[in-house]
Amino acid sequence: MAKKTKRIDTHAHLGECCVFGLLSTEEDMLRRMEECGVDATIVQPYPGATTASKTHDRIADLCARHPGRFFGIASVTPHGDRDVYEREVERCIKELKFVGIKLHTIGHGVNPLSEDGDRVFATAHALGVPAMVHTGPGVPFALPALCIPAARKYPDLKIILAHAGFAVFTAEAQVAASVCGNLYLETSWCIGEDIRWMIDTIGADRVMLGADLPSNVPVEFAKYKALELKPDVYDKVLGGTAIDVFKLSW
């Protein structure tokens, strides 16, 4: 299969979540990937994981058992001891070869404009990986526009707005991306026609599919299929963009 035609889910969680009351297993993920023809999934712990580092190890194990089918994203609360945060994130990127860092505005209670919010952006910038930020439910911290100052402070850092505003704040996510070329849109839970609008106005090279939950994988793929996009655009938003942004290689 040519590199750019891979189908990638850029947003998935493994393990349990005491914040949202959710659970996703390796089997759930593999079954949905098989069902929907997903080549690779980018996996992170839930914000309510009992111990983030244990879930990071579990993700690394999943990546090792299924080479090229999974990539990891580190997700740790930036509150508390700075060294503890930086050590765990650095371990994920350098030792476990994860491809990004998550800032969870609602799950970890982090304002992107705060000092602890900046810690996430600064760490991602220093380690040379993209930062993914939860947007949508969880206002005011989850408002997409709150990522604009970080995008301007770190112009060569790629920041992915997870859920692209989650339908209700999608217009704001589009505006944020329109004024900052280093903001990217991951579209889980968005309205189909809004996804088309984001692709048409921001460009396919800054829009990517994500599913968030295993049961939502078939839904998100069906949504994109129903848009009847041009083949080159479809290939980008379903995989090519993620390959470039996360520097994925096989």
Q: How many CA atoms lie within 13 A of 55 on its CB side?
A: 26
The least distance separating Zn ion from the CB of residue 210, rounded to whole angstroms, comes to 8
- We find the least distance from the C-beta atom of residue 11 to Zn ion, in angstroms, to be 6
DSSP annotation string for 151-180: HHHSTTS-EEEEGGGTTTTHHHHHHHHHH-
In whole angstroms, the minimum distance from the beta carbon of 155 to Zn ion comes to 26
- C-alpha 81/C-alpha 160 separation (Å) is 25
Nearer to Zn ion, 44 or 241 (CB): 44
Binding mask 211-230 for Zn ion (x = CB under 5 A): -x------------------
Beta carbon of residue 46, minimum distance to Zn ion (angstroms, whole number) = 7
Smallest separation (angstroms) from Zn ion to the CB of 41: 12
CA–CA gap between residue 172 and residue 143 (Å, rounded): 8
Taking the complex as a whole, the smallest distance from the CB of residue 131 to Zn ion amounts, in Å, to 14
CB-wise, 28 or 203, nearer to Zn ion?
28
Q: Is the CB of 106 or the CB of 126 nearer to Zn ion?
A: 106
Q: Which residue has the tokens 């930036």?
A: 78
Q: Which residue is nearest to Zn ion (CB)?
A: 212
Q: Which is nearer to Zn ion, 212 or 220 (CB)?
A: 212
Choose between 19 and 175: whose C-beta lies nearer to Zn ion.
19
Segment holding 71, helix H or strand E: strand 70-74
Per-residue contact flags (x/-) with Zn ion for residues 140 to 159, judged by CB under 5 A? --------------------
Beta-carbon count within 10 A of 152 CB:
11
By C-beta, is 147 or 233 nearer to Zn ion? Answer: 147
**Residue number with CB closer to Zn ion (194 or 212):** 212
CB of 5 to Zn ion, least distance (A): 26
Within 13 Å and on the Cβ side, how many CA atoms surround 70? 23
Q: How many residues bind Zn ion (CB under 5 A)?
A: 1
| Segment (H or E) for 223 | helix 217-226
183-212 binders of Zn ion (CB under 5 A): 212
Strand order in the sheet with 40-45: 22-24, 8-17, 40-45, 70-74, 100-103, 131-134, 159-162, 183-186, 207-208
Which structure tokens are listed for 102?
A: 């998550």
Q: What is d(CA 39, CA 221) in angstroms, rounded to the nearest whole number?
A: 13
Interacting residues with Zn ion (CB under 5 A):
212
